[in-house]
Structure 1
Amino acid sequence: MEKKNTETGKKDKSNGLMIKIATFIVDRRNLFFLLFAIGIIFSLISSKWVKVENSLAAYLPDTTETRIGLDLMEDQFTTYGTAKVMVTNINKETADEIADRLEEDPDISMLTYDDSSDHFNNFSALYDITFVYLEDDDRALEALEKVKQDLDGYDIYVSTSMGDAAAEQINKEMQVVSIIVAIIVLSVLIFTSQTYAEVPVLILTFGASAILSAGTNFLMGTISFVSDSVTIVLQLALSVDYAVIFCNRYKEEHQLLDIREADIVALSKSIPEISSSCMTTVGGLLAMMLMQYGIGSDMAVCLIKAIFFSLMSVFLLMPGLLMIFGPLMDKTKHKNFVPKISFVGKMDYRTRHIMPVLFLAVVAAAFFLQNKCPYVYGYSLLETPVKNDTQIADERIRESFGENNFVALLVPAGSYDTEKKMLKDLESRTEVDHCVGLSNTEAMDGYMLTDKLTAREFSELLDLDYEEAQLLYTAYAVNDENYAKLVNGLSSYSIPLIDIIMFLYDEVEEGYVSLDDDMYDTLKDAHDQMKIAQDQLQGEDYSRMLVYLNLPQEGDETFAFLDEMHKVAGSYYPDGNVIIVGEPTSQYDLNKTFDRDNIVVSVGSILIVLAVLLFTFMSAGMPVLLIAVIQGAIWINFAFPTIQKTNIFFMSELIVSSIQMGANIDYAIVISGRFNELRDKMPKKEAIIETLNFAFPTIVTSGSMMALAGVFIGQLSSDGAISGIGQCLGRGTIISIFLVMFVLPQILLIGEKVIEKTSFKVSVPIKLDRGRGLMQVDGFVRGQVNGMVVGEMHAVVRGEVNALVSLGKMTPLSSDMEAELPEELKMINYDPEDVSGEKTEDRKGGTDNV
């Protein structure tokens, strides 16, 4: 008994503080209603300010080749709006007519279409369109919409990187998922509730936290489309436990106390309990912030912020809602729909020596299989349950004309001849289909853009007077400060075609050279086409070339050839920086970061959760057993893709493993914590049966929500990353629930001695306060009081009470409540005839024990 007093005595001051905090929150509920109302109104407005990043490559580390290349291209080059338009079910004559119509469109600067099978095949025509507007210019989208309208009546498929069509589609899909999940949540809450009126309390609490979380995303500047899409659903799945724990605690306290007092006491007990529970979830999310790949930090911050607002809603808003709905909750009680699962506990006890062995065997096999999990780093090898319009268009174009897999090769500018030699070298390799650069792009009459022409050749090309051409070349040499050519003569002086055309056009525009109308029109057409090519392929410091590959977007062969391209280009530019940018490079960079991130996230989440559990259970053995079960669930989860031979997006493993370790382990904590309480009070069999009956409602509430939320995200999203996260989360949660219900109890039963021997609970002697006469007592009290008591009291008394109770009530407890009493009261045998207050081995009673 003294040991029990020692262990509980340390909580006295903290409990007293919690009571004061809880009383303030409950009694000042109107203030918090006002603050939440203001915050919700602001969040509804500010949610429109959130900027969403739709590119996964944007979250690559700044040191990766892709990020360096993307930043360089944005600084050095101009990217015009482009689109691939495929018209199906037409003959060649109709295809040519459509091409003529498109060429007349003033918004189209370049149309690529010819008689080859690359542009007409199987009664389908493919038009590569380049608009006169930049890629991020809204007029480019308007021009594309105009093309669609002009082709109205034909079967067309459009593929373009312009606009946010994919993001808009994802938002629509997630709205559907949110509605379905909301219906599921409502159904689960009704099923697991004990009163119908508690459901609106839970819904209002979560709704407030969700709105506040979404409305503060603008503080992050920009969030990823993944975070924007799944945060609200994952927030519900991760944090609904908090409101359920508080509500259940309130109903428990309300059996003895009135609404206000039950609210206060329940909140005072729930704050530390819920705060401790959320630590493992936050710990798992913190591990995601250790990833090099920035989307991990992005999602972690969004989810941690969401959990914070969930806690604030439970602690500050929900107590007031319980005060409002409390009377209605009393009137709407119904029978418990959640069944007892005593049969599971009995089965677990009978199989306590079998299941752990089977678990070890399965986990060992799962560990081997998950190491061979077919991870992919792009969308080209992924299959999603549903497809959006963009995916359907890309698929149809790919079926008819094959896949265009290309990369942009950036090399130091300055030498057209070197570029030409390098492109020729690359085109000679079987892995390369063809290359596009200034040096191998035809301009006029068979001349390439960078071919050098003498004054005579140039005059013949444009039908320009030779003397005028000589004067033009002279002006170019002076402008270029190439005076040696003037001295040695202009007859052998040659200038790249693109450079002399650009120079001549500028001279005409500035009025130094006059041309007739026909000549000017020819020059202007040539200039406009060359300017578009120059803007896209020639920068101030770098030249850009497109290399089309005969390889898939990702894979060992593709990644090996990217390294080979570096060697080839490096041999032509030994002193320069060669950069390759494109989907293959992005996926190669992700492949490089994944190995490191996977280890860091796995080890980080285990260590953080382990630290939390060590202080929760004050035992080294218990955390290891719990983590072993959840880590086993993670390995089994990611063994499934290997067994099913289904590709999985790499990000799914990084994010879901963190969430599984941080959130699903709560289920194991509920069971192990309850078993720890009961194992010394009753036989082990009854303890494990009672534990599972106690834990099942909590696990089925939270677990079913997370599992179903994951399943619906996985089945209804057309985005490979989002769908993969949903599928893995849903499957992983189901596996975790199964293991904590059918494997963990057996492990706890046979590992009981390990838990006891590795316990490091320390009992610190405490000083009992004693006094006689007139005294004021403040704080949580446990002990004996003999005398007149005046004040507010929340206690269980074994003894005799003669007092006036106001603003509350005194309720006799039945013998059925005996098991729930503190150990000190169980050890006291009260004799109403004995009022001596003495406590001996045979006679304990006579005084009020508080």
Structure 2
Amino acid sequence: MKTFCKAVTRGRYVIIAICLLLMIPAAIGYKNTKINYDIVSYLPSDVETMKGQDILSKEFKQGAFAVVITDNMSTKQILNLEDRIKDVKTVNKVGSVYDILGYSFPVQMLPSDIASKVQKGDKNLILVTFTNSTSDDATLKAVEKIRGLKKSIQVAGMSATTLDTAQIANSEVIMYVIIAVALCLIVLMLTLDSFFVPFLLLGNIGVAVVYNLGSNLFLGQISYITKAIAAVLQLGVTMDFSIFLYHKFEYWKTQRDNKLEAMDEAIAETMISVIGSSTTTIAGFLALCTMKLTLGVDIGVVMAKGVAFGVLTVVTLFPALVLVFDPIITKTAHKSVVPDLSFIKRFVLKHYKIVLTVFVIGLPLSYYAQSRTQSYYNLTAGLPSYLPGVKANDVLKKDFKIVSPYFILVDSKMDATDVKKMVDQIDDLKGIDMTASIAKLSSQGITEDMMPDDIKDMVDNGKYQIILLSSKYDTATDQLNSQIAHVSKIAKSYDKHAIVAGEGPLMRDMVTIADTDFTNVNSTSIGVVFVIMLFVLKSISLPVLLVLAIEFAIFINMGIPFMMGTKIPFVASIVIGTIQLGATIDYAILMSTKYLEIRQGGGDKVQAVSTAMDASLQSIFVSALCFFAATVGVGIYSSMDMISTICSMISRGALISMIDVAFIAPSLLLVFDKVITHTSLGFKKKGA
């Protein structure tokens, strides 16, 4: 280790040069990393609805759908518009009722439930299919191109809202970083003893962030959620590593003859402490990889990399920067304005039994509250209402009463009589608003011979045929999920290989998988962090007590939406607990490590807890405040509820964990001191 430390301090200029040069390929990697804006695509490929999507993509060459809403256009103008849409790259098929009826026949010739879904007053619908997937760049460009063909048209569907998501995410992401950096800079200016050090801290983390985002190129793609929160989370989680090294350097400067030797000692101590504490944070993020929804792997791997890069730059680049700019640091020195937190120690030492009573009563209550917090799964619900795709979807709901369209894939050779019987049964289900199939149209006198090949190819490719449905129920609701289950049962009674697919069924699978993921991720993160703490603290009881303390903070954080009567995005409900545990368990470890040191050295429990609080409270305060600052601004600024909620809950969780560790953790140490000393290594031989 000494060799490594000396290599860093003596080769500081070389390290700075290498780190700056590595920014070039990292920046290129960042720019060329594909961003996925479609959360549905992270569903497991073996889910039946995803198999349905695969059939549509491979067998029908229909990777995505969109609905074009025309306003005050004649039949001729609509058919001309269809021809223009067909010329857009990656558009596969385009069709409307006028391709079947032509100029002569009125829409009223269609079955009434179908007629009401294709024309309303002066508005008409055109169905467009795309060769590529919903979130593919080519599909999004095609949707954008279609929107520009005529001012009076609107484009609805998942690809349209995905385009909205992409545009708003790309327009805001830079501001996320600017806000996070600005707020962190304010905190660091106040809490550190130099006006220049904060710039070095943020510059160092900025390099680590670019390395992390650039290396995402090797993952193939990342989600827009990961892109939006990765930088601010990495900033908040790894900031305290740099602060720790800086404080160590300032201390050793008073103990050693020159700055190089002081930094050698600071790096050595930082590596021992930071590598140990960062392991729990990395483990917490990697627990997200147990999610069946592979979005968890996306977030987990990127954030785990981010922490690793943060540790790497803290023990290499940051020491080099501090040594090079030490004269400026000295000239810009000022008095830190961190408040005196000794009143917390006095309160806890005097009232720890009361604090513990509050904990014992509050734990089950907060657990109940967080278990009652409700999530929403409708991916468009968290988007601003002014977006064009959201507006178009609202027109479909309000004017055409198309709330949740989906479809059934059945064997193309199924007898027309059986298809009609199946559709009639489905029509009788509560909430079904419309069904459409070739067999149903034929029974109304509109035969296959009357249909253009393009229209027939959209719904029957010789191997599968598509039956369209429209439900009155909103996507991702219990009513729609129950209806889909009944539709599937009926369809499979006629064709055992039938598949119910579309946005509604996909969201139904999302609900089921997310519920399982919530349980798996939380239990895995607790288990992994617990095992790591066993080795770090060399204690059986302490990991239990400290995890309980942080889980209490998590329960409070997750229970607040229930108490406020609000719903949160389902992704937030899955990832918040794991992120908060991994990022803030270090607060508890920092305090308990000092406590163990004093107790094993012969000090009594009050002395050990008192010294531990003196040594850790200010560090915990600064770290939590930086974590809060890095995320709270994004939570307030973002217009996407998914991003806003995640960042707001993370920022709130940092403060709750800080208060929790400041009061609950030392109270647990005092009350369970005997248990701890008898279940931890290094006590019995000292007679503790």
Q: Which band: TM-score by shorter chain?
A: 0.7 to 0.9
Distance, in Å, in 2 between the alignment partners of 1:384 and 1:133 is 23
Amino acid at match of 1:60: L
Distance, in Å, in 2 between the alignment partners of 1:395 and 1:231 is 32
Classify 1:118/1:410 alpha carbon distance in 2 versus 1 (closer, same or farther; 3 Å).
closer
Structure 2 counterpart of 1:533, from 443, 452, 455: 455
Match of 1:601 in 2: 521
The superposition leaves residues 45-91 of structure 1 with CA deviations (integer Å, 9 ceiling, x where unpaired) of 2222211222112111222122211112111113387655668xxxx
* SS of alignment partner, residue 407 of structure 2: strand
Identify the structure with the greater helix proportion.
2
Match of 2:112 in 1: none
The superposition leaves residues 157-188 of structure 1 with CA deviations (integer Å, 9 ceiling, x where unpaired) of 54342573321211222222221111011111
Match of 1:212 in 2: 211
* SS of alignment partner, residue 107 of structure 1: helix
Match of 2:476 in 1: 554
Structure 1 counterpart of 2:673, from 735, 746, 752: 752
Match of 2:374 in 1: 374
Q: Which segment is superposed worse, 615-624 or 28-37? A: 28-37
Q: CA deviation at 1:269?
A: 1.3
1:700 lines up with 2:621 in the alignment: yes
1:733 lines up with 2:654 in the alignment: yes
1:128 lines up with 2:141 in the alignment: no
Unaligned runs of 5+ in 2: 86-93, 99-106, 109-114, 133-137
Distance, in Å, in 2 between the alignment partners of 1:387 and 1:676 is 56
Classify 1:319/1:133 alpha carbon distance in 2 versus 1 (closer, same or farther; 3 Å).
closer
Distance, in Å, in 1 between the alignment partners of 2:328 and 2:580 is 37
* SS of alignment partner, residue 293 of structure 1: coil
Classify 1:236/1:137 alpha carbon distance in 2 versus 1 (closer, same or farther; 3 Å).
closer
Give % identity.
25
Amino acid at match of 2:647: G
Q: CA deviation at 1:392?
A: 4.6
Match of 2:49 in 1: 66
Q: CA deviation at 1:731?
A: 2.6
Match of 1:301 in 2: 301
Classify 1:384/1:731 alpha carbon distance in 2 versus 1 (closer, same or farther; 3 Å).
farther
Match of 2:642 in 1: 721
* SS of alignment partner, residue 234 of structure 2: helix
Alignment check: 8 A CA contact 2:348 2:663 kept: yes
TM (normalized to structure 1)? 0.72
Match of 1:320 in 2: 320
* SS of alignment partner, residue 315 of structure 2: helix
Alignment check: 8 A CA contact 1:620 1:759 kept: yes
- What pairs with 1:264-283 in structure 2 (closer than 5 Å)? 264-283=264-283
Count of aligned pairs: 653
Q: Which segment is superposed worse, 263-272 or 554-563? A: 554-563
Alignment check: 8 A CA contact 1:26 1:320 kept: yes
Match of 2:579 in 1: 659
Classify 1:72/1:385 alpha carbon distance in 2 versus 1 (closer, same or farther; 3 Å).
closer
Amino acid at match of 2:574: L
Unaligned runs of 5+ in 1: 1-17, 88-94, 451-496, 498-525, 766-850
- What pairs with 1:95-244 in structure 2 (closer than 5 Å)? 96-97=72-73, 101-105=77-81, 106-108=83-85, 109-111=94-96, 126-130=123-127, 134=131, 136=138, 140-141=142-143, 143-149=145-151, 151=152, 158-160=155-157, 161-162=159-160, 164-244=163-243
* SS of alignment partner, residue 414 of structure 1: coil
Distance, in Å, in 2 between the alignment partners of 1:403 and 1:300 is 37
Alignment check: 8 A CA contact 1:375 1:647 kept: yes
Classify 1:720/1:577 alpha carbon distance in 2 versus 1 (closer, same or farther; 3 Å).
farther
Q: CA deviation at 1:595?
A: 3.4
Match of 1:341 in 2: 341
Q: CA RMSD in A?
A: 2.9
Distance, in Å, in 2 between the alignment partners of 1:101 and 1:707 is 55
* SS of alignment partner, residue 465 of structure 2: strand
Amino acid at match of 1:128: L
1:38 lines up with 2:21 in the alignment: yes
Match of 1:780 in 2: none
Q: Which segment is superposed worse, 684-693 or 641-650? A: 684-693
* SS of alignment partner, residue 62 of structure 1: coil
Q: CA deviation at 1:338?
A: 0.6
Alignment check: 8 A CA contact 1:177 1:712 kept: yes
Match of 1:584 in 2: 504
Distance, in Å, in 2 between the alignment partners of 1:579 and 1:721 is 30
Q: CA deviation at 1:324?
A: 0.5
Amino acid at match of 1:283: A
Distance, in Å, in 1 between the alignment partners of 2:140 and 2:527 is 49
- What pairs with 1:448-527 in structure 2 (closer than 5 Å)? 448-450=446-448, 497=449
TM (normalized to structure 2)? 0.88
Amino acid at match of 2:125: D
* SS of alignment partner, residue 548 of structure 1: strand
Distance, in Å, in 1 between the alignment partners of 2:56 and 2:143 is 22
Classify 1:200/1:286 alpha carbon distance in 2 versus 1 (closer, same or farther; 3 Å).
same
Alignment check: 8 A CA contact 1:82 1:128 kept: no
The superposition leaves residues 327-381 of structure 1 with CA deviations (integer Å, 9 ceiling, x where unpaired) of 222222211211211112111222211111111111111222222221233336x
Match of 2:32 in 1: 49
The superposition leaves residues 734-783 of structure 1 with CA deviations (integer Å, 9 ceiling, x where unpaired) of 22122112222222222222211211238999xxxxxxxxxxxxxxxxxx
Classify 1:226/1:441 alpha carbon distance in 2 versus 1 (closer, same or farther; 3 Å).
farther
Structure 2 counterpart of 1:673, from 593, 598, 601: 593
Q: CA deviation at 1:629?
A: 0.6
Distance, in Å, in 2 between the alignment partners of 1:138 and 1:620 is 54
Q: CA deviation at 1:394?
A: 3.5
Classify 1:614/1:142 alpha carbon distance in 2 versus 1 (closer, same or farther; 3 Å).
closer
Classify 1:278/1:143 alpha carbon distance in 2 versus 1 (closer, same or farther; 3 Å).
closer
Classify 1:143/1:293 alpha carbon distance in 2 versus 1 (closer, same or farther; 3 Å).
closer
Match of 1:644 in 2: 564
Distance, in Å, in 1 between the alignment partners of 2:469 and 2:189 is 59
Match of 2:60 in 1: 77
Structure 1 counterpart of 2:489, from 567, 573, 587: 567
* SS of alignment partner, residue 325 of structure 2: helix
* SS of alignment partner, residue 351 of structure 1: helix
Q: CA deviation at 1:393?
A: 4.7
Distance, in Å, in 2 between the alignment partners of 1:268 and 1:213 is 24
Classify 1:289/1:64 alpha carbon distance in 2 versus 1 (closer, same or farther; 3 Å).
same
The superposition leaves residues 673-704 of structure 1 with CA deviations (integer Å, 9 ceiling, x where unpaired) of 23334566777666655544432332233212
Q: CA deviation at 1:138?
A: 7.4
Q: CA deviation at 1:31?
A: 3.0
Classify 1:376/1:419 alpha carbon distance in 2 versus 1 (closer, same or farther; 3 Å).
same
Alignment check: 8 A CA contact 2:422 2:491 kept: yes
Match of 2:542 in 1: 622
Q: Which segment is superposed worse, 394-403 or 670-679? A: 394-403
The superposition leaves residues 640-693 of structure 1 with CA deviations (integer Å, 9 ceiling, x where unpaired) of 222222222222122111111111111112222233345667776666555444
